Amino acid sequence: MHVLVLGSAAGGGFPQWNCRCPVCSLAWEGSPRVRPRTQSTVAVSVDGASWVLLNASPDLRAQILAAPQLHPQREGRSSPIESVILSNADLDHVAGLLALRENHSFALHASAEVLETLDADPVFRVLNPSFVRRIPFRLDHPFASGGLHIVAFAVPGKRPLFFQSEGEGIGSETEMTVGLDITSNGRRFVYIPGCAHVTDALRARLAGADLLFFDGTTFTDDELPALGLSSKTAARMGHMAMIGESGSLNALAHINVARKVFIHLNNTNPVLIEDSPQRRTVEASGWEIAFDGMTVSL
């Protein structure tokens, strides 16, 4: 199984178009201490020829241009992209679907509720149903796509920001936020770009995986409020901070997973600075930080 990171940043990307937080400032200055990143999308393939996308970020067109594996390979119109699997209906995971119009035939796998969310928005009608097959998956029921065996499972999450009302609860386990457990040839990759907190059931599911990509949105829970950028903590956004008692470093410290990689990194997260003490902290805890163009072969 080949795993290719097309985009490793959270919504907004890095740098974010309207942000001069300390980390974005380094990117705007062209500092070698940071690498710019596009918004989170991962491509997976069994044979290197046909590819499954995990989410479709607003940067998808540029991500395809940057990945020769995803360029059309035959004369006329074609694409190695065989399907797209959505883990939620957040804008940073679905807006790229609009870049996949032009009557290319592919399968769109998502929970029924996420597909209904897209159906409720007439803009997504540009994905002509006679070419783009909407295929709902059921939680905990295996399905196949692009030669991969996949199980979607609920993780503590939230409804998309554009749906949320004031005071809405965060952290319920519904089909609006899922993780994807992906197997090929006995190797297992688990993809969880958004997770509000870690449960015992989640820890049990992760045991024995060869590769985990996990929500790395912020370093501290109050990262955005402390910078005066937003009133929302990571927890209020339905995401996990890395440090702190309930942070991911603690919550996932003892799981038996061969490689642990943070993805969906918010532009404020100081681990994006390659020589920062925060970066050293996560690396010393056995985690890697995803970057655009990162590849893992399992």
Contact set with ligand MLT (CB under 6 A): 10-11, 90-92, 161, 194, 237-239
Interface with Zn ion by CB under 5 A: which residues?
Answer: 16, 19, 21, 24, 267
Question: Nearer Cβ to ligand MLT, position 67 or 235?
Answer: 235
Report d(CA 31, CA 14) in Å as an integer.
13
Q: Which stretch binds Mn ion (CB under 5 A): 10-18, 63-71, 204-212, 265-273?
A: 10-18
Cβ neighbours around 205 below 10 Å, total = 18
The residues pairing with 259 across neighbouring beta strands, listed in sequence order, are 211
Question: Where are the alpha helices (H) located in the chain, listed in sequence order?
Answer: 22-28, 60-65, 91-94, 112-119, 200-206, 223-226, 248-251, 277-284
Burial class (CB in 10 A: 0-12, 13-18, 19+), 8: buried
Rounded least distance, CB 92 to ligand MLT, Å: 4
Which is nearest to 264 in space by CA: 288, 295, 290?
A: 290
Smallest distance, Zn ion to C-beta of residue 219, A: 13
Q: Which stretch binds Mn ion (CB under 5 A): 29-37, 91-99, 201-209, 288-296?
A: 91-99
By a kind-dependent CB cut-off of 5 to 8 A, residue 161 interacts, out of Zn ion, ligand MLT, Mn ion, none, with ligand MLT
Minimum Å gap between C-beta 267 and ligand MLT is 12
Closest CB to ligand MLT among residues 62, 91: 91
H or E segment and range at residue 45: strand 41-45
Rounded Cα gap, residues 127 and 106, in angstroms = 10
Our finding on whether 223 is near Mn ion (CB under 5 A) is: no
Q: Which does 267 bind (CB under 5 to 8 A by kind): ligand MLT, Mn ion, Zn ion, none?
A: Zn ion
